[in-house]
Amino acid sequence: MKRIAIIAGETSGDLLAARLILALRQAYPDCQFEGIAGVEMLAAGCMGLFPLEKLSVMGLIEVLKHLPELLSIRQQLFNRWKNNPPDLFIGVDAPDFNLPLAAKLHAAGIPTAHYVSPSVWAWRAKRVRKMQGNLDLMLTLFPFEVDFYHQHGIAAEFVGHPLADEVDFDASREAARAQLGLPQDKRILAILPGSRSGEIRHLAADFFQAAAQLQQKYPDVVFVTPAVNARLRLELESIRQQSAPDLVLTVLDGQSRTLMQAADYILLASGTAVLEGMLAGRLMVAAYRVAPLTAWILRTFKLLKVRFVTLPNNLANEALVPEFLQEQITPANLVQAVEQMFNLPPERRRYILQRFHELHGQLRRNASKSAAAALIKRFFLS
């Protein structure tokens, strides 16, 4: 009977881990799983040693406040698994917690794997040194990550991105609009300034001011934004009233993915949402702004190691999505970029969407099944 230790650190990791557990159980029905688990992992049959909420701590101050408890949990798990070794340890995302634990377990003779590469290829590349000799296998969501790890002597395998399994390319706009109650006969610009308060504070005012200018020039365009919860809905409305009181804006309760499918165009914060927009087959303009001190540190110490910021551009190694960063983010620049998107020559539009479709196909590999197969081949069949 196989026994696997597994840790997820937030809701997205919980879902990934749960699907991986179910895929591994197809090959080993009596396999036992234990670790830090959320509701999805528990439902998949994982024994929870600590609740996932213990690791779901955001922000430097919050992490420092909880650091003694986090270190205690990590030590307790290490002691448990050192004394009763599992056949494999799998860390799912949460690299700051999982990778140091993996190093200690590896030194104790326990095989280790990590699912979802931290963005060491993009910034703070020196972090990869902490994985060398401490990790037996890295499972990556993007194909270009594999070469990076191989160059640093770490075994890695590309298993595909779970979002590509979930999102159909160029799904029906009509069906999505009907579901959201949006007009069928208008052009729709989806505005996604972020899903966290910090992102919204950095971007929403510029997005809304640009939208207000566009609304004056293009009265046939409908502007729609999603709010993750009631608190952020109030924050978005407050920013709109202060920055663009004349903007007519439809605010949805969540449903950002469906909104992307309903939209003709998207103006959004850089992040996973840009990947979702690419997978949905929609033209986009992306922007991202961090605190001035953070930007200064990144630039001064040249911590960013990539040519592009958005995932579609990095995957394609070409500029398919216009990117605006820091001081580049002005209403005037955004208006110009969105207008250019509205008026793209047909051949350029076809090319971008064709590349999006190709990238969707590359990432759609039934990620959970592929990850399970890679783990079984590496650890259980050798």
Task: Convert the pLDDT of each residue in 88-135 to its tens digit.
Answer: 999 999 998 999 999 999 999 999 999 999 887 656 667 788 899 999
From the number of C-beta atoms within 10 Å of its C-beta (0-12, 13-18, 19+), residue 235 rates as middle
Give the pLDDT confidence score for residue 334 in this predicted structure: 98
As a whole number of angstroms, the distance between CA 159 and CA 313 comes to: 20
The larger pLDDT score, comparing residue 125 to residue 203, is at: 203
pLDDT of residue 306: 65
Give me the helices (H) in 31-172, please: 39-43, 60-83, 95-107, 143-151, 162-166
Q: Are 222 and 182 in contact (CB under 8 A)?
A: yes
Task: Give 3-160+365-380's CATH code, choosing from 3.40.50.2000, 2.40.10.10, 3.40.50.720, 3.30.70.1060.
Answer: 3.40.50.2000
- Average pLDDT rounded to a whole number, residues 165-186: 96
The secondary structure of residue 307, as a DSSP letter, is S
Encode 227-241 in three state secondary structure: ECCHHHHHHHHHHHH
Look up the pTM and report it.
0.88
Residues of the chain with CATH 3.40.50.2000: 3-160+365-380, 173-363
Read off φ and ψ for residue 229, nearest 5 degrees.
-150, 175
- On whether the 173-363 domain is CATH 3.40.50.2000, my answer is yes
Answer whether residue 57 shows pLDDT above 80.
no
Least confident of 38-52, 209-223, 274-288, 299-313: 299-313
d(CA 317, CA 242): 39
Q: Is the pLDDT of residue 61 over 60?
A: no
Model confidence at 149, in pLDDT bands (50, 70, 90)? Answer: very high
**What does the pLDDT read at residue 303?**
59
